[in-house]
Each structure stands twice: as C-alpha cells, then as structure tokens.
C-alpha cells in the first residue's frame, strides 16, 4: 500500500513537472521563434485583412472626435498668467449710498494661477463624455501712487484692487458621432465669477454657458462644424453663431485649430512633441462684486472681455508632461460695470436688443502678457 502511494505520488510529481516543463519549453520555443520586437518577424499576407467585416451583425463605424495632427488634449493643467503694467481707467461711480471719482489707476501687474482639469467619464465608440473643472484668478497689483489718489476713492476700484477676480467652474463636453462622418458636439459650463474669497458666493450667482455644434469629419485630416453658443466671452451674455474648423496638411507640418469666435490658431508642427501656434483667444466673463456689503446690494457685475493675440509654444518635456508657454498682447474689449435689473442680466446683443447705458464705462490699457503652464496630456 505504502509502495503504491509512493509510486502514485512520484507519478503525479513527474506529471506536474512534465506539464510545467512542457509549458515552459513551449513558451521558450515560441518566444524564440516569434520575438516580440516592434516589427513581427514572420512574413504575412496582409491582403487577407482588406475586405473583412465585423463579426457582430449590425456593428457600425463612427467618426472619431479628433483628427490627425491636433495638439494633444490636456487632462490636468496648472499655470500662471501675468499681464505687465497697464492703466485701469475707471469711470465715476454714483449710487444712493456710495460715490467715487473717476480716476486712472496704475497697475504694476495683474496675475494669478490657472488650474484646469478635464477627465473622460464615458469613452465609447458611439459617445464620448468628459467632465472638467477650472479655477482662474486675477490679482491686481497697484503701483504706489500716494497723494495722486482721488479725494473720494472709487469703491469699485477698491473692490477690484483689494479683492481681485476669481472664476471657479465645472464643464462638460459630449461628443456624439452620428455615423462615419457626421457628429454633434455639446459643451456646457457653469461658473462662479466674482471678487469672492474662500467663502465663495451663493450658487444663485452661477453663470451658464453652452455651445452646440453640428459637424462633419470628411477625412482623417479635416473636421468642420457650425453651431450656436450662449457665451460670456465678450464680457456679457450673448448668443452668437460659431464655426469650427480643424485641419492638418498632408505633411503634418501645418494646420488650423479654430473655434471661431472663441479662438483661432494656425499650427506649425515641428514634430508631434513640439508645436507652435499663432492666433488669438477671446476671454471674458461677468464677475459679481460681492465681498463689499454696500456693492453687493447694488447688484453690480464687471463685464470683462478681452482679446489675447498670441504665440504659443507647446512641447513634451517628459513623455505625457507638456509645457505650454504663451506670450502676446492683451487687448481690452470691455471692462464696464453693469447693474442687474431686478436680479436679471441685460441682454444687449451688441446694442441690437438694448441700448441701456452701463453704470461705469471703464477702459484698460493693453499690456504684454505671458502664460506658462504644465499639463498632463491625454492618451
């Protein structure tokens, strides 16, 4: 009995060793003959893959949200924005409780950090959904003017210079391909803009922006679309048509990345890890003056809109970590102060729908600016 057991045990051990050994031998042989180098070693007739269809009945092909040669999408970015010295020419301000003289304030610089993130939530062939968040700030550093300050300092100037402006927002992007060439793109965002501090502001002051585009992707190197947006980019609420045009030439040297009127850039690709852009971006928001108790009750908002003419250089500094440097000219489009009517915004539509006067007609001179950011880019 003991002999039988010992024999069986030996047999089993032998079998185990044999199986394991065979498995390893097989692996070694396969690995030796088919090395996993980038190029597979064996000759293959690739023509057999030309005319084949999906295994699953009814499976469809859909167009991709990207085209070849586009700059990589940024997942997370942390940057610093700096506007050089300029003048803040503020109008006089009058209300029942407060008043202040017009004055030109010298600003040494306006600067602040900018954080953005954009994470894919659903990424399927027939729908792509992304969620993002952002925090931007602008702090005004006033030059010391001593006795040249007005006798009655402007309370709006005090609020701006002492508190700065902040934007905290959430956004979402949905790409819905309809077939191999047509798609619908939706972007929506909600932002809390104002001179608030860490206590933020009530959610009733949230601003909502949205855009919807119907587009076509006729080739791997071209994508265009037309749509409509509800936007604050010109400083105050507007509804404007938009044009999308992304293009890369056959050599992948030149291209365009355009979402007019929000931004338009010509792209020069030095190589896929080094890109240069020339163009502009339209930036803007409506900022609530909230921190000062008196101004808060006046229902005031700064309508800030600016055009940034710029050169941008983007490069990979280590694999997926990209550096973006931009420099250019910040052109003031609007910096007026508006009073809300019973809490509602005035929809002027460039003066077509309303010619209501602003509470303050302000002007900023146009400085040079630069922006530097580190970004983690998407696969």
Partner 1 sequence: MKNSLLTFLLVAFTTLTSFVYQDTEGDRLIGVWEPSNGRARVKVEKIGSKYYGKIVWLKEPTDPVTKQAKIDKNNPDPALQNIPLKGYRNLKDFVYSGKNEWNEGTIYDPLNGSTYSCTIKMKDKNTLEIRGYIGVSALGRTDIWKRLEVKPKS
Q: Which stretches of the chain bind partner 1, using CB under 8 A?
A: 1, 5, 8-9, 12, 15-16, 19, 23, 26-28, 30-31, 34, 36-40, 44, 46, 48-50, 52-56, 59, 61-62, 64, 68, 72, 75-76, 119-120, 123-125, 180, 220, 250-251, 271-273, 319-320, 376, 378-379
Closest to 91 (Cα-Cα) out of 79, 105, 81: 105
Quick one: 22 or 349, whose CB is closer to partner 1? 22
What does the buried/exposed string (b/e) look like for 117-144 if buried means 16 or more CB atoms within 10 Å of the residue's CB? Answer: bbeeeeeeeeebebebebbbebebebee
Closest to 175 (Cα-Cα) out of 214, 210, 208, 209: 214
Quick one: 73 or 109, whose CB is closer to partner 1? 73
Quick one: 175 or 196, whose CB is closer to partner 1? 175
Closest to 290 (Cα-Cα) out of 281, 300, 303, 278: 300
- Least distance from partner 1 to the Cβ atom of residue 23, Å: 8
Q: Tokens 């489009």 label which residue?
A: 333
Closest to 248 (Cα-Cα) out of 222, 219, 275, 280: 222
- Least distance from partner 1 to the Cβ atom of residue 65, Å: 9
CA 248 to chain centroid, in Å, comes to: 21
- Least distance from partner 1 to the Cβ atom of residue 34, Å: 5
Quick one: 97 or 119, whose CB is closer to partner 1? 119
Quick one: 102 or 184, whose CB is closer to partner 1? 184
> How far is the CA of 303 from the CAs of 226, 234, 247, 344, 365, in angstroms?
27, 8, 33, 14, 16
CA 18 to chain centroid, in Å, comes to: 59
Q: Is 27 left (phi over 0), alpha (psi -120 to 50) or beta?
A: alpha
Quick one: 254 or 280, whose CB is closer to partner 1? 254
Sign of CA dihedral 55, 61, 64, 68: positive
Quick one: 181 or 365, whose CB is closer to partner 1? 181
Asked whether 93 and 156 are in contact (CB, 8 A), the reply is yes
- Least distance from partner 1 to the Cβ atom of residue 15, Å: 8
Backbone angles phi, psi at 9, to 5 degrees: -60, -45
Quick one: 118 or 286, whose CB is closer to partner 1? 118
- Least distance from partner 1 to the Cβ atom of residue 232, Å: 30
- Least distance from partner 1 to the Cβ atom of residue 133, Å: 14
Distance CA 316, CA 377 (A): 9
Quick one: 42 or 144, whose CB is closer to partner 1? 42
Beta carbons within 8 Å of 142's beta carbon, 6+ residues apart: 105, 106, 107, 108, 161
Quick one: 53 or 147, whose CB is closer to partner 1? 53
- Least distance from partner 1 to the Cβ atom of residue 201, Å: 30
- Least distance from partner 1 to the Cβ atom of residue 271, Å: 7
- Least distance from partner 1 to the Cβ atom of residue 317, Å: 13
- Least distance from partner 1 to the Cβ atom of residue 323, Å: 16
- Helix (H), strand (E), coil (C) string for 196-234: CCCCCCCHHHCEEEEEEEEEEEEECCEEEEEEEEEECCC
């Amino acid at each position: 009995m003991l002999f039988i057991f010992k024999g069986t045990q030996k047999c089993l051990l032998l079998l185990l060793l044999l199986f394991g050994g065979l498995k390893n031998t097989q692996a070694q042989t396969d690995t030796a003959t088919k090395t996993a180098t980038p190029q597979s070693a064996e000759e293959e007739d690739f023509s057999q893959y030309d005319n084949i269809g999906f295994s699953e009945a009814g499976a469809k092909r859909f167009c991709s949200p990207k085209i070849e040669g586009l700059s990589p999408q940024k997942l997370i970015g942390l940057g610093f924005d700096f506007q050089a010295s300029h003048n803040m020419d503020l109008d006089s301000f009058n209300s029942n409780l407060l008043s202040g003289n017009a004055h030109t304030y010298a600003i040494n610089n306006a600067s602040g950090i900018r954080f953005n993130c954009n994470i894919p939530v659903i990424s399927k062939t027939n729908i792509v959904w992304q969620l993002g968040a952002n925090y931007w700030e602008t702090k005004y550093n006033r030059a010391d003017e001593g006795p040249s300050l007005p006798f009655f300092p402007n309370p709006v100037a005090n609020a701006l210079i002492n508190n700065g402006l902040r934007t905290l927002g959430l956004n979402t992007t949905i790409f819905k391909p309809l077939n191999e060439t047509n798609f619908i793109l939706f972007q929506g965002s909600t932002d809390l803009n104002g001179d608030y501090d860490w206590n933020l502001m009530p959610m009733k002051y949230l601003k909502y922006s949205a855009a919807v585009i119907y587009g076509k992707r006729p080739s791997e190197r071209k994508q265009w679309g037309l749509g409509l947006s509800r936007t604050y980019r010109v400083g105050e609420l507007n509804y404007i048509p938009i044009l999308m045009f992304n293009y890369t030439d056959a050599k992948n040297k030149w291209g365009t990345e355009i979402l007019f009127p929000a931004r338009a850039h010509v792209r020069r690709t030095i190589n896929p890890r080094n890109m240069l852009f020339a163009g502009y971006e339209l930036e803007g928001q409506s900022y609530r003056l909230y921190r000062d108790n008196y101004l808060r009750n006046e229902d005031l908002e700064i309508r800030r809109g600016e055009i940034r003419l710029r050169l941008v250089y983007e490069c990979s500094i280590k694999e997926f970590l990209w550096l973006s440097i931009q420099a250019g000219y910040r052109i003031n489009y609007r910096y007026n102060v508006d009073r809300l009517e019973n809490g509602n915004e005035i929809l002027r539509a460039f003066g077509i729908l309303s010619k209501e006067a602003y509470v303050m007609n302000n002007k900023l001179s146009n400085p040079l600016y630069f922006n530097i950011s580190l970004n983690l880019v998407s696969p």
